[in-house]
Amino acid sequence: MSKTIRIGTRDSELALWQAHTVQKQLHDLGYKTDIIAVKSQGDIILDKPLYELGITGIFTKTLDIAMINGQVDIAVHSMKDVPTALPQGIVQAAVLERANILDILVHKGHPDFHNENTIATGSLRRQAQWLNRYPHHHVVDLRGNVNTRMQKLKDNDWNGAVFAAAGLERINIKPENFIDLDWMVPAPAQGAMVVVAMGNDNFCLDAVSELNDVETEVCTHIERQFLKTLEGGCTAPIGAIAKIIDDEEIVFKGVLLSLDGKEKVAVEKSVPIQEWKKLGYYCAQEVLENGGAAIMEVLRKQFKPKD
């Protein structure tokens, strides 16, 4: 255990919390570590919606390059930010035990959803699901790390903003005035942290594998397989959640929507646990056959790169 494992991370408070969590777990196993923080393009460019930047994995790309160049050994990410196809040479080394999966609405006094409201979110998935449920509401873009977004909510006259509960809970800034959005299907792998490493780095792969939570690994595999089969990347309004029940069955729920929320194709399945490996694929195929293919075709045209 003489090698010091260099942990790469974004430099936001939440990303550093995640890196320190991995660092502590590795220390408890007897490994030496250093944390190396870098700023990603997704943190720097805050004046454009994510989908307009046209880069899949904008929050992970900088760390991928640092790892390939040998500047860091492993990287820690919110798994929902990680593209379903990892760069050549980089592999998933561990998925940590999942935290809260829910989206929440942080609001300014209990909102009356029957009236017109302005709700902020930088996520197309949240925007589409919100407009599907509340078509008379107005949704505005909200960018930045969780601290920045919380401050923007305070500074603007919006009625509320949608956040992942896990992020606010991890750095202890979840306010009292929130509502659990248990009707909103979360992002694939929401609430999960993933550690990636170089595929030829056996020392780091062996060390990090000890942090892996098998149940979270299985559920996030299904969700990300659903996303990959729909060819969603980071730009399509796609939600997915898988849960293991009593070590016997897996319950899956997935959804694909149009940007304005007017079109929605959903799927729900419960299968024996031994059928998990292709569950995300089969559910995605069902969505595509039931109208999802037409929605994806429109989305691809909407996000076609401008000349």
Handedness of CA 6, 32, 84, 133 (dihedral sign): negative
The closest of 68, 110, 76 to 7, measured between CA atoms, is 76
Burial 50-86 (b: 16+ CB within 10 A, else e): bbeeebebbbbbbbbebbeeeebbbbbbbbbbbbbeb
Q: Of these residues, 43, 81, 103, 201, which one is catalytic?
A: 81
Give me the DSSP letters along 266-285: EEEEEEEGGGGGGHHHHHHH
Listed residue (142, 115, 119) closest to 129, CA to CA: 119
Q: How far apart are the first and last CA of the chain?
A: 51
For this structure, is 81 an active site residue? yes
Tokens of residue 261, six digits = 């929320």
Which helix (H) or strand (E) covers residue 150, if one does? helix 146-155
Kindly state the tokens that stand for 276: 């998990």
Place of tokens 């959903």: 266
Q: What are the φ/ψ torsions at residue 192 (nearest 5 degrees)?
A: -105, 145
Residue 272 and residue 248 in contact, taking contact as beta carbons nearer than 8 Å: yes
Helix (H, G, I), strand (E, B) or coil at 145: coil
Q: Whole-angstrom Cα distance, residue 115 to residue 20?
A: 43
Rounded CA separation 106/183 (Å) = 15
User: Which residues are part of the catalytic machinery?
Assistant: 81
